[in-house]
Structure 1
Amino acid sequence: MRFRRFGKTNLPFSVFSLGTMRYLASEENAVQTVARAIELGINHLETARGYGNSEQFLGKALTLLSLPRHQLYLTSKIAPTPDRDAMARCIDQSLNMLGVNYLDCLAIHGLNTEEHLAWVEAANGCMKAVWQAVDEGRIRHVGFSTHAPLGVILRAIATDQFEFVNLHYYFFNQRNRAAIELAESKDLGVFIISPADKGGMLHTPSPVLRHLCQPFTPLELTYRFLLSDPRVTTLSVGAANPGELDALLPVLDRTEPLTSDEAAALARLQSQQRTALGTDACRQCYQCLPCPEGINIPEVLRLRNLAVAYEMTSFGQYRYGMFENAGHWFPGNKADRCTNCGDCLPRCPENLDIPQLLKDTHDRLSGPPRRRLWE
């Protein structure tokens, strides 16, 4: 296992972190999953106040495994709130559930909207409780996790209140590149959220994707894309059981620059997208927004890009089904809300027939509604 400095926290994090949202089948499963992570060299364990029994199970694992507290780094996440007292209560609850007297890191969980940003900037808001806990030594470092639009992320980083950021950034979704760059300039630790799952459901890739990535697996290649970037500190692995951690074995110590073969495989992926999509490719410039019907046009068309280019239809259905069902975690209406108003058309530099592409995406990806796992 390799380790990297987590920005200005100066904590030496393993390049993989155990995310504990999915190990909730049982307390025994949770303990075994934590034990396997530690065995592989993972020293950062990440949970959240809102993840069901996750904090409780992690606290039990720390006790049963007699894990040395000073050799492990614990992060929990608490949702933003305008209520200072509510935040103080949540901090107490997290510490009690985990059975510890301090958190190495606390992340404001889901700083996703302008309203959330206003709450953390308010003089007497939730951050006052956070800073009090820092003064008392119960929290060592403070950051935020986010599913926000890029502009909100950049403004949150620019508040200079935070030492790290948890965000989405993958080979198949590089929209947040500017946030990675700003985080580096301010020496923030960078934690990548769920690259295996949110990065494309890469545990179960399509045959087309497997073929294009050879001789690597798609999961191995996406891990290497991220680990070869020195601005990235650690990648979340949301293992549901101990066995899922075995996928890390080929890349635990692979933080060097991309090899020529790896770079060639990534170039093949880019070439395939250009060829498969032709003049229908959405370049993710976001100039089509805002949509009068509240459709998240760029994200809808990104999912279409992936389905057409790489047959990542299952992933597209999984994410598309969350529109209108996940609130600020995955905002936007489904593509069938399009009224063909044409408002987006003159703003598209690619001259895409956006209404037709929206219809095509809905026909390809529409299915049962989905919610976030921990809800």
Structure 2
Amino acid sequence: MHYRRFGKTNLNLSVFSLGTMRYLADSENVQQTIAKALALGINHIETARGYGKSEEYFGEAIKAGLSVPRSQLHITTKIPPTSDADVMRRYIDESLERLNLDYLDCLGIHGLNTWEHLEWVQARNGCMKAVEEAINDGRVRHVGFSTHGALELILAAINTDFFEFINLHYYYFFPRNADAIALAASKDMGVFIISPADKGGKLYQPPQSLKDLCHPFSPLELNYRFLLSDKRITTLSVGPATPEELVAPLQVADNVGELTPAEIATLQSLENHQKTVLGTQQCSQCYACLPCPEKINIPEVLRLRNLAVAYNMTDYGQYRYGMFENAGHWFPGMKANRCTECGDCLPRCPEKLDIPTLLEDTHNRLNGKAGRRLWG
């Protein structure tokens, strides 16, 4: 296991962090999973108020005793933004009590996803007043935020200079937030990549065509290497449901150097394949088509189409597409069949794509069972 400085927090975190949204079967499974993670060299565990009984189970594990001293284990919990300080004060106290902790190494504002959330953060008597109090009295050591928001919002939140770290989506198949990585690094913020295996493409269950294109690497390994080769990124979350699910991802934990020529060639081959297959129907993800009068997230819809058509990542596309209209601000946007063919987007598209036709095709390919966040 390698360790990296988490920006201005000056914490040295393992390049993989244990995420706790999925390992919620029971307290015993949680304790076994934590023990396995610690044995493999993970020293950062992340949970959240919103992850069901995760904090409670983690607190039971702490009470039962861990294999490393508390000073060598870095613990993050996340709490949603609130419009007033009193609610945040209560939330912080409740999380500490459930976790059986005297202090948090890191507190993340969980889901800073909308401009209203940013207003709450910046308000004089908003949630950050309570966070500052907790920092001053030692109950919280460092503060950051997680986000599923638009790039413009993420950049604005970084530029408040309130935060020491950021948790965000950024992967080989979703490079949209590259500018946020760059800005965070320029401000010496720690960068924590959320869910690279799942949200990054459901890469633990890749289609055979994608496996063939990535050979001799696995798609998951290639995505991990794409991220870990970037020294601005501190740590990646791994979210096992059982202790055994930790083993395969952490085989990459000692391979954090620059991309090899073979890896670069494989990534270039993936890019070339997408261009060849999609041809004049490839969406370049420039976002010039927005805003859409029907509130369709056109670039994200067409990104899922790119992946489904080019790499047969249809299962992933259906999983993510099913979140539209079902996950609120965590995955905003209407489904593609809401398109009225108004034509507003057409003159703004530099590729001159027939966007209404592509939206209809995406809906036909990917519409299936509605999805939702694991914890709403």
- Give the total of aligned pairs: 375
Partner Cα separation in structure 1 for residue 342 and residue 171 of structure 2: 33
1:294 alignment counterpart: 295
1:169 alignment counterpart: 170
Partner Cα separation in structure 2 for residue 46 and residue 60 of structure 1: 15
1:18 alignment counterpart: 18
Partner Cα separation in structure 1 for residue 339 and residue 110 of structure 2: 32
1:96 alignment counterpart: 97
1:79 alignment counterpart: 80
SS at match of 2:248: helix
**AA paired with 1:124?**
N
Give matches, 1:71-150, under 5 Å.
Answer: 71-150=72-151
Partner Cα separation in structure 2 for residue 171 and residue 80 of structure 1: 29
1:35 alignment counterpart: 35
The alpha carbon displacement at 1:249 in A equals 3.6
Partner Cα separation in structure 1 for residue 318 and residue 31 of structure 2: 32
Please state if 1:66 is matched with 2:58.
no
Please state if 1:362 is matched with 2:344.
no
The alpha carbon displacement at 1:88 in A equals 0.3
Is the 8 Å Cα contact of residues 37 and 246 (structure 2) preserved in structure 1?
yes
The alpha carbon displacement at 1:25 in A equals 1.0
1:308 alignment counterpart: 309
1:6 alignment counterpart: 6
The alpha carbon displacement at 1:28 in A equals 1.1
The alpha carbon displacement at 1:64 in A equals 2.1
Partner Cα separation in structure 1 for residue 372 and residue 250 of structure 2: 31
Moved more, 306-315 or 242-251: 242-251
2:193 alignment counterpart: 192
The alpha carbon displacement at 1:75 in A equals 0.2
Is the 8 Å Cα contact of residues 106 and 143 (structure 1) preserved in structure 2?
yes
**AA paired with 2:13?**
F
Partner Cα separation in structure 1 for residue 104 and residue 292 of structure 2: 41
Partner Cα separation in structure 2 for residue 211 and residue 63 of structure 1: 46
**AA paired with 2:164?**
E
Partner Cα separation in structure 2 for residue 16 and residue 27 of structure 1: 22
Partner Cα separation in structure 1 for residue 186 and residue 100 of structure 2: 36
SS at match of 1:162: coil
The alpha carbon displacement at 1:123 in A equals 1.0
Partner Cα separation in structure 2 for residue 225 and residue 37 of structure 1: 23
2:52 alignment counterpart: 52
Please state if 1:202 is matched with 2:203.
yes
What is the RMSD computed on CA atoms of the aligned residues? 0.7
Partner Cα separation in structure 2 for residue 193 and residue 180 of structure 1: 13
**1:242-282 CA-partner distances (Å, limit 9, x unpaired):** 11101124211111000111111111110110011000000
Identical amino acids, percent of aligned pairs: 67
Is the 8 Å Cα contact of residues 317 and 366 (structure 2) preserved in structure 1?
yes
Unaligned stretches of 5+ in structure 1? none
Is the 8 Å Cα contact of residues 35 and 66 (structure 2) preserved in structure 1?
no
Partner Cα separation in structure 2 for residue 94 and residue 120 of structure 1: 19
Is the 8 Å Cα contact of residues 20 and 54 (structure 1) preserved in structure 2?
yes
Partner Cα separation in structure 1 for residue 351 and residue 341 of structure 2: 18
Is the 8 Å Cα contact of residues 300 and 335 (structure 1) preserved in structure 2?
yes
Moved more, 237-246 or 348-357: 237-246
2:218 alignment counterpart: 217
1:324 alignment counterpart: 325
Is the 8 Å Cα contact of residues 35 and 65 (structure 1) preserved in structure 2?
no
**AA paired with 1:69?**
R
The alpha carbon displacement at 1:63 in A equals 2.4
The alpha carbon displacement at 1:373 in A equals 0.9
Moved more, 57-66 or 138-147: 57-66
TM-score of the pair, normalised by structure 2: 0.99
SS at match of 1:235: strand
